[in-house]
Structure 1
Amino acid sequence: MENQHPSLSRFFILVLVFAFFFPFSIGQLSSETRLLFRVRRLLEYPPALSSWNNWTNFCYLPPSPSMTIVCSQNKITELSIVGNKGPLPSPPSQNLSQKSLFAVSPQSLSSAFSIDSLFTTLSKLSSLDVLSLVSLGLWGPSPTKIHRFSSLQVLNLSSNFIYGEIPPQVSSLTNLRSLVLDNNLFNGTVPDLSSLPGLEELDVGWNLLGPEFPSLGKTVVSVVLRNNAFRSNIPSELEHCDQMWRLDLSYNEIAGTVPSWLFSLPSIQYLNLAGNKLTGVLATDVSCGNQLGFVDLSRNLLVGGLPLCIYSNSSKRTVSYSWNCLSSGDLRYQHPYRFCQKEVALAAVMPPLRNKSSKSKLGLIIGIAGGVVGGVAALAILVWVILTRVGAKRAENGGLQKSITEKTPTRSPNIVSNAGHMSHAMRLGAIGLPQYHVFTLEEIEEATNNFDPSNLIGEGSQGQLCKGRIRDGSVVVVRCLKLKQKQSIQSLTQHMEVISKLRHRHLVSILGHCIVTYPENPNASNTIFLVFEYISNGTLRSHISERQKQETLKWPQRLMTAIGVAKGLQFLHMGMVPGIFGNDIKIENILLDGNLTAKINGYNLLIPSKDKITKVGSESPFSRVEVDNHGSIGHGDKEDVHQLGRILLEVITGKTITSQSELDELKLQLQRSLTDAPTKLRAAADPSIRGTFAYESLRTAVEIAINCLSNNPSQRPSIEDVLWNLQYSVQVQEGWASSENLSTHS
């Protein structure tokens, strides 16, 4: 015992010395550690923080897509957390009860959550430079205590449910360089940001902000105001923003003329003015900046010709100008001149439609979860409005989400990084599907009764299709595939793990697989059994033809099936890397389940051969369609959009298209009807849906269908743009139906 005393003495001496020289460091770390655990509790234990324990050294945690913590001199300087509770990808149903939105949705934090408590706690991390809280389901009024983050350079609160005005205290954050608040419920005027000397990035898209254009400083590099309620002119102050490379003002109600200097800003690369109320003639002598790579002027009220630098549309520049009243370019996709005259005159005597519709919806809006009182009811109002407008893009999915046709330049290296977004498409997931299962051969034989001939529902060069019933009682379809080339079991297993992620409520999803190998016979090929869900309610074609036995769909149901197909394609294109393109999207390959949910049955799968990637369709597995290293087949994404346009024509008219000539004729008929009296377009619709649709809803669907069928693939819209327009068509239809019901009851 006596021999141990010197060792103990030395130990205590070391502890005392360490505590004497480093008291601040120990106190600082333990203090901020306690704050982080409190943040985890306030966020209701998100999965990204589930691994924390009392022994976690936060300053040495490896960064991940869902969490990053950075320290400097024993102080936390960056906290970035990404969850999976962002805004829903589609509008909620109008018949929800007044206290059910957040009660039925897993997308937001509970009614006990306090955004004020969260930011009070976070503000005690006094050295934060970067604060990023993305898709965590945060809800409540905008955090006014934001001014306490005096050193903040990056603030990212995207994809949450924060409502009210953007706190004016943001203007006091003099170190702020990046402000990202997109996909929330902010409304009102944006505070004056011109006093922020280093602000480079502003993204407040997909909110309810407006009507005045925000005041910005000369240092801005990227400005995104997409999908809000801005209604003022484009301010002349932007002419002095020499570093700005991205300006996205799309889908607001911005009025006035397009300034000539906008195209020649020294650094401008991306300019999106689509979906506004811009009028007048573009100056023909406009010069475009050398770096300008993307211009979208579509869906405005512009007249006259296009400037030469835009009209030339070189291979280095993508330009869209459809649905104006222009006299140059492709006139098939322009309104007649009188259309723009009429719209301008109407705007002069009537308030903007969006403002009017927003007011009319206030009386219909739902409340917040029970237990939240007072001002929280306003959140439900904003939630319903924003989600009806956001619908798409987002699954993200989004990733709620930006157009994949936009040639977005590389993020400016001057902007502080780690303010990332999540793909909305990835969040759509396998909603309502059972857990993926790796079957044994015995289970496959049991499900199909040893492949009894009575269960055979298809056979051809691509293998047999058998109907079966697995042990949980689900009816399935089993496809037997014999590979032509010998492959290692490890290679097949790894790739099937990737394929198992291709599960979505708008796909005929794979429920599992079984790999059978023959090690005793090296010359024998491997066999794979793919187990798909069984869809028993027929094809979309069978539901829009009165000659079939199934119930004929009315216009609102047809819109929802089209949206389902678009969401399925969005997931295929954006839910995985590489995306799944060049799919067999035809009306016979769209199946409907018992709830009339559309499911794509003709999508492709990626299966590796020995030295390349091979496409495999669920209808024709292991078909030999070779793709490049990025998983793209030429204009595969735009070919899918073209096929969707063809489906839309059949859904709208009820006619079966069997040849290219029939497609061209029907497309031309609908194009002409758009410029004639409304009776022409109504007459072109399927007789079985007449009287069930709003004219503007039908018109919107026809316009997007024609755009999808453009002969030039580069002029076809992205799948997210298609989804946005279809969901807007649903909005118009629901508003019309509500007014019709009101008139009937009156």
Structure 2
Amino acid sequence: MLVMKPTFLILLLFFSYTHFTAFSLLNPLDFLALQSIRKSLTDMPGANFFSSWDFTSDPCNFPGVYCSDNRVIALNLGEPRAGSPGLTGRLNPAIGKLSSLTELTIVPGRIIGSLPQSLSQCKNLRFLAISKNFISGNIPTSFSYLKNLQTLDLSYNLLTGSIPPQLTGISSLKNLILCHNRLSGSIPVFISQTLTRLDLKQNDLSGSLSSLPSSLQYLSLSYNRITGSVDRVLNRLDRLNYLDLSMNRFTGSIPGSVFSFPISSLQLQRNMFTGQIRPLHQVSIPTVDLSYNRLSGQISPLLSSVQNLYLNNNMFSGKVPGSFVERLLAAGIQVLYLQHNYLTGIEINPTAEIPLSSSICLQYNCMVLPVQTPCPIKAGKQKTRPMAQCREWRG
């Protein structure tokens, strides 16, 4: 019969205890979920994020895994350094077993497949960001069960289908970023009044622009096929500090209140806006781009305080206000593009020296150019409009 010495028995008990506690630090369901997630994802060449994921040790010490009270509360998959090669594979449905998860981020890579429906089981999830991968399929409607969700970033993927109306009812949602996908259909009506950032650019969205929450501070809908008027919607969004509605099919007039928004750039180019531009006050927005629309009437002197003004390819007529010349010669205007309109004159001395930091283009209007300045290549080579077009325009 083998008799163990007391010292050996103590050491054996110590090693057994430490081995047990190493695994008891994490809930068994979370432990198994992390194993499944690891099996379905691999490092791309040049990445070594998973190199230290050794399941003989405590997973709470793995890179990207954060625990509290024996549960995984945050999962950041992939090396956070800029330019990391990222991960490849698919997202395992076992991720939904991490019931205490509050944050899930995945660095840019080549992850394919659809978003697991099981993510909706992570009821405490507040931050979900899976951008710049190859995620396809629809956005699960079950995401509406994530009542604590504050940020949803699925940008730069291959998502299709419509934006689930159920998402817009999440009262805690602050940031919805779905840009650079292949989403279609209309923009649903938002019930949430906490949303501050809505980025849907570079999709295939259509229909008219419905009601948006007045809490919005950032709105980007460029490169879609959205139609209709923006008057009622924009008049309510007086908290915006960024607005880009370019590359759509919006019609009707541009409300004067838009030019009073506390924004640094107003992007409304390449739509079908009509009517006159009537700002309520002197415009303090540094960059205003209204090019490639159907705007008409005289140019408002209240726009002369804009540093970069693009009014080209519209139907503006009359003379350019003298305040523009003053600001231009004083280097207060950096870009003034007025080409391809029906303007009849500008009071500027042909011998005046335009500052090198300023650029003006008057090409293809109903006037003899008083100054010869470089214009963008897209302006063409023809200096003035055919007189027949000018006479027809004047009626």
Please, what TM-score do these two structures have when normalized by structure 2? 0.67
Where in structure 2 are the equivalents of 1:560-709 lying within 5 Å? 664=374, 667=377, 670=380, 672=382
Aligned to 1:323: 292
Q: Which residue of 2 aligns with 1:213?
A: 187
Corresponding letter in the other structure for 2:157:
N
Counterparts of 1:107 and 1:14 in 2: how far apart (Å)? 40
In the TM superposition, what is the alpha-carbon distance from 1:108 to its structure 2 partner? 8.8
Q: What are the residue-to-residue correspondences of 1:220-299 with 2, within 5 Å? A: 220-236=195-211, 238=212, 241-259=213-231, 262=234, 265-284=237-256, 288-289=260-261, 291-299=262-270
Answer yes or no: is the 8 Å Cα contact 2:131–2:156 preserved in 1: yes
Q: Do the aligned partners of 2:36 and 2:92 also contact (CA within 8 Å) in 1?
A: no
For structure 1, the residue ranges without an aligned partner over 5 or more in a row are: 62-66, 85-105, 338-637, 643-660, 677-746
Match of 2:389 in 1: none
Cα displacement string for residues 96-134 of structure 1 (whole angstroms, at most 9, x for unaligned residues): xxxxxxxxxx9994xxx5x4xx33222222221111123
Matches within 5 A, 1:441-480: none
The amino acid that maps onto 2:312 is: Y
Q: Distance in 1 between matches of 2:161 and 2:314?
A: 33
Q: What letter matches 1:199 in structure 2? A: L
- The residue that corresponds to 2:312 in the other structure is 333
Secondary structure at 1:281's aligned position in 2?
coil
CA deviation profile, 1:391-450 (whole Å, cap 9, x unmatched): xxxxxxxxxxxxxxxxxxxxxxxxxxxxxxxxxxxxxxxxxxxxxxxxxxxxxxxxxxxx
Kept after mapping to 1: 8 A contact 2:230/2:250: yes
Could you tell me how far apart the structure 1 residues matched to 2:96 and 2:378 are? Answer: 61
> Which deviations, in whole Å up to 9, do the C-alpha atoms of 1:52-81 show, x marking residues without a partner?
3356544345xxxxx632211122111112
Q: Residue 42 of structure 2 contacts residue 87 of structure 2 at CA under 8 Å; is this kept in 1? A: no
* Alignment RMSD (CA, Å): 3.9
Structure 2 distance, partners of 1:287, 1:168, is 37
Q: 1:183, CA displacement in angstroms? A: 1.2
Amino acid paired to 1:123:
G
Residues 674, 133 of structure 1: alpha-carbon distance in 2 compared, 3 angstrom cutoff: farther
Deviation at 1:313, TM superposition (A): 3.7
Q: Distance in 1 between matches of 2:142 and 2:376?
A: 56
Match of 1:200 in 2: 174
CA contact (8 A) 2:23 2:57 kept: no
Which digits, 9 at most, give the CA deviation of each residue in 1:614-667, with x for residues without a partner?
xxxxxxxxxxxxxxxxxxxxxxxx99xx9xxxxxxxxxxxxxxxxxx9972785
Equivalent position amino acid for 1:7 in 2: T
Counterpart position of 1:79:
75
After TM superposition, give the deviation of residue 219 of structure 1 in Å: 1.6
> Which of these residues, 167, 180, 185, is aligned with residue 158 of structure 2?
185
SS of the counterpart of 1:41? Answer: helix
Deviations 1:174-224 (A, max 9, x none): 121111111111112111213312111111111111221134322211110
Alpha-carbon spacing, 1:321–1:122, altered in 2? closer, same or farther (3 Å): same
Q: TM-score, normalised by structure 1?
A: 0.38
Equivalent residue number for residue 138 of structure 1:
111
Distance 1:664 1:127, change over 3 A: same
Query: Counterpart of 1:206 in structure 2: which amino acid?
Result: H
Alignment of 1:366-385 (within 5 A): none
Aligned counterpart, 1:157: 130
Residue 94 of structure 2: SS of its match in structure 1? helix
Change (3 A) 1:671 1:321: farther
Partner residue, 1:49: 50
Q: Distance in 1 between matches of 2:207 and 2:313?
A: 25
How far does residue 277 in structure 1 lie from its aligned partner after superposition? 0.8
Alignment partner of 2:170: what SS? coil
Number of equivalent positions: 316
| Relative contact order higher in (CA < 8 Å, ≥ 6 apart) | 1
Cα 1:74/1:672, change in 2 over 3 Å: farther
Which residue of 1 is the match for residue 95 of structure 2? 122
Structure with the higher fraction of residues in strand conformation: 2
Q: Among residues 24, 27, 42, which one is paired with 1:26 in the alignment?
A: 24
CA contact (8 A) 2:227 2:251 kept: yes
Where does the alignment leave 5 or more consecutive residues of structure 2 unmatched? 304-308, 317-356, 360-370, 387-395
With over 3 angstroms needed to count, the CA separation of the structure-2 counterparts of 1:207 and 1:306, relative to structure 1, is same
**Cα deviation 1:639-697 (Å, max 9, x = unaligned):** 9xx9xxxxxxxxxxxxxxxxxx9972785961648988xxxxxxxxxxxxxxxxxxxxx
